Amino acid sequence: MTDLLAGKVVIVTGGSSGMGRAISLRAAEEGAAAVLIADIREEPREGGRPTTDLVAGAGAKYQFVEADVTRPEDLARAVAAADSFGGVDVMVNNAGVFGREDFFEWTESDYDRVMDVNVKGVFFGCQAAARAMRGRGGAIVNLSSIGGIKGGGLFPTYCSSKGAVRLLTYSLGELLGPLGIRVNAIHPGLIDTSMTRVDAPLISEEGESLSQITIPLGRVGQARDVADAAVYLASDLASYVNGTSLVVDGGRTAS
Amino acid sequence: MDSGLEGKVALVAGAGRGIGRACTLALAAGGAAVACVDNDQDRGQAVAEEVEAAGGRSVAVQADVLDRGTITEAVRQTVVAFGHIDVGVDIVGEGRFKPFLDWTDRDFTEQFDVNLRQLFVVSQECLSQMVSQGTGGSFVAIASTAGLGAMPQMAFYAASKAAVISLIRTLAVEMGPHGIRVNAVAPGSTRTPRTAFLDEVERLTHFSARVPLGRRADAEEQAAAVAFLASERASYITGQVLVVDGGSTVQAGRTLDEFGAVPSVPWGDSSRSHQQ
C-alpha cells in the first residue's frame, strides 16, 4: 500500500493552495511521474514555497499551468499540457470557492460566480480529462463537500453547487465506467484551510472551531486527510470504486 | 511512504476464505500482524500460515461469532500474541434467497443472527478492548449494497445489512471521543468461493454488463477498501459506508435484482460457515 500512484500523471485544479496543494504533494510522495498544478495563482494562499517546489522535492516532474476553471479552454489547455508527460491518468477537480452568503441580498453575479467555479469548472474539467482518457482509462476525483450531502442555511449556493458535483460524479461514473474511467467524489467536512479561516471564519487562529463539539473525532480536519482520500480513489486500490462518495469529516454527518 | 498499517495489530473475524482471507492478506501486506479468527479451524490456520510464509505475523484462533465466550477468548488470545488490538475487521455474513412470502421465522432469525447479532458481539468485544487500551483504533464491518435499497428475494439479507449501516454510524459517534473510528465497506457483486455458483449465471446472462465497470469485483478489491479504512490513511474518516460496486447503485431507476435469474437457490449453507 505504498507508491500508490507510481508513474501516473496527475492534474490538480486549484493545486496552489490548501487541499489542492496537499493533494499535489501527496501524489508526488506516492510516486506520481508528474503533477500539473492548474490554478489562477501560483503563490499559495497560506504562504510558503510554490506547490511545484514541493512536488519537485518529492521527486516528481511538475508544471504550473495558469488556468481559470470557469473557462473550458483553460481546462483543455491544462489537460493538453499533460500530454508532454505521457498524458493525464488522474484528474482532480479541486478548485472551488466558498464564503458566507446573505441569501436575501445575494445577486445574480454572486450566484453565477459560485456556480461557475464550483460546478461548471468541475464539469468541463471532467470533460477535458475524459476526452484525453477515452482510449486509455483513468481516474477522476471531484471535490464535493459534506455541504453537497446535507444542506447549510448559511451557504445555500455553495451547498447547491456541491450537490451538483455529487450528482455529476454519479452520472459520469455510469457513463465513463465502461470506458475504464472511474469517477468518484470526496466530501470533506470542516478542513483547516484559507477557505475556512479567511473566506468564512469557521476556524480560529488556534485551529479550532466551535462546531468541533459536533464532530465525533473532536477535531477539525487537515488538508492531508483529504489528500490521503484523493490518493486512495485515484489509485488501483480503488479499482472497483466508481460513481461513489467518500466522506472525510471526522464523523460529523454520521451524527 | 508508510501504508498506515505498519506495526498495527488486527483481528479479522471470518478470515478463512473469500473477502475475509483477502482482508487478512491485505492487512498483513501493509505491515499489520493479524489474528485470523474463523469457525473453521483448518481454514483459519491455512490463512495464518499464508501470512507467515510471506514474512508477516499471524495467529489462527477458532471461534464462533454467535458464541460470545469464544470471541472474548479470541480477543484475549490476540492480545496475548501481539500485545494489543488496533484494528477489528468483521467479514462474517451470509445471504439467503427466498421470495418474501416463503421466508420462515427461522430464516429471519438466522439471517439477523449471522449478519447483525454476530456483528454486535464481535464489535462490542473488540471495541471494549480498544477502549480499555486507551490508544484509539479502527473497526471495519462489511455491509452490502443490498443494505442501500431493495433486494428482491433477499428481504432479510438486505434489511440486516441496512441495520449494519445504521450501527456503524452510531458506533462512530460513541467511539469517536475514544479516538476509535468505525466504518463499513458495502460491496457490490463480488466473486468469492461463496458466490462461485454465480459464475454460471454470469456466463449465461452477463448480468455484470449492467455494472458500469462491466464485471464483478474480486475479493481483493473489497479487501483494499477495508485495509484503507483500517489504516491511518483514513484517520479522519468515521461513520461512513464506502461503496465498492463499480458504479452499480448510482444508476437512476435500477433495481438490485442481479440474482433475479436464479430461482430460490439457497445461498450459503445451514452449516454456518459464516464467510462472505
Q: Which three cell numbers stand for residue B122?
A: 464481535
The better pLDDT of the pair B256, B179 is held by B179
Share of chain B above pLDDT 90, in %: 81
Option in B181, B217, B246 nearest A177 (CB): B246
Give the pLDDT band (50/70/90) at residue A207: confident
Output DSSP code: residue B216.
P
Question: Which has more confidence, B257 or B179?
Answer: B179
- For B242, which of A217, A246, A255 is closest by C-beta distance? A246
pLDDT grade for B252, boundaries at 50, 70 and 90: low
Percentage above 90 pLDDT, chain A: 95
Q: Give residue-wise pLDDT tens across range A78-126.
A: 999 999 999 999 999 999 999 999 999 999 999 999 999 999 999 999 9
- The whole-number pLDDT of residue B4 equals 95
Going by pLDDT thresholds of 50, 70 and 90, the confidence category of residue B34 is: very high
pLDDT at B198 over 90: no
Query: Is ipTM > 0.90 here?
Result: yes
Nearest to B240 among A173, A232, A247 (CB): A247
* Of B2, B225, B236, Cβ closest to residue A217: B236
Least confident of A113-122, B125-134, B191-200, B256-265: B256-265
Q: pLDDT value at position A1?
A: 66
Q: In whole angstroms, what is the distance from residue A171 CA to residue A176 CA?
A: 9
Q: What's the whole-number mean pLDDT along residues B34-40? A: 98
Residue type, B161: K
Distances (CA, A) of B194 to B110, B211, B266: 17, 20, 11
Distances (CA, A) of A75 to A48, A91, A119, A164, B106: 26, 11, 13, 19, 59
Cα four-point dihedral sign B98, B102, B108, B109: negative
| Cβ contact, residue pair B213, A177, below 8 Å | yes
Beta strands A138-143 and A34-39, pairing class: unpaired
Q: What is the pLDDT of residue B1?
A: 59
The answer to whether residue A240 is catalytic is: no
The distance of B233 to chain A (nearest Cα, Å) reads 6
pLDDT value of residue A78:
98
Tell me the C-alpha distance between B166 and A112, whole Å. 38
Q: Which pLDDT value is given to residue B273?
A: 33
Catalytic residue chosen out of the listed positions A17, A24, A144, A145: A144
Contact A232 B233 (CB under 8 A): yes
- The pLDDT value recorded for residue B158 is 96
Residue type, B206: H
Helix axes B118-133, B155-175, angle to 10 degrees: 10
Confidence (pTM) = 0.94
pLDDT at A184: 98
Quick one: cell of A51? Answer: 506547490
Whether B157 is a known active-site residue: answer yes
- Spot the catalytic one: B97, B139, B157, B267: B157
The reported pLDDT for the residue numbered B204 is 85
Distance, CA of B276 to CA of B268 (rounded, Å):
9
Bridge-based pairing state of the strands A9-13 and A181-188: unpaired
- Please provide the average confidence, as pLDDT, over all residues in chain B: 91
Residue B187 has pLDDT above 80, yes or no: yes
**What digits encode the pLDDT tens for the residues A141-162?**
999 999 999 999 999 999 999 9
Side-chain half-sphere CA neighbours of B6 within 13 A? 6
Q: How far apart are CA A41 and CA A65, in angstroms?
A: 9
Distance from CA of A106 to the nearest CA of B (A): 33
pLDDT recorded at residue B267: 39
Q: Which residue of A has its CA nearest to B1?
A: A2
* Exposure class string for A218-245: b at 16+ Cβ within 10 A, else e: ebbbbbbbbbbbbbbbbbebbbbbbbbb
Q: Which residues of B touch A216 (CB under 8 A)?
A: 172-173, 175-177, 238-239
Q: Which of B209, B224, B217 is nearest to B261 (CA)?
A: B209
Is residue A210 pLDDT above 90, yes or no? no
- Residue A66, pLDDT > 50, answer yes
- Asked if A240 and B246 come within 8 Å (Cβ–Cβ), the reply is yes
Q: State residue A179's pLDDT score.
A: 97
pLDDT digits (tens, 9 = 90+) for B74-94: 999 999 999 999 999 999 999
Amino acid letter at A36? L
Residue type, B62: Q
- pLDDT of the residue at B250: 78
Contact check, Cβ <8 Å, A239/B250? no
pLDDT digits (tens, 9 = 90+) for A33-53: 999 999 999 999 999 999 999
Is a pLDDT exceeding 50 seen at residue B162?
A: yes
Q: CB–CB of B221 and A239 under 8 A?
A: yes
Q: What gap in Å lies between CA A81 and CA B38, rounded to an integer?
A: 52
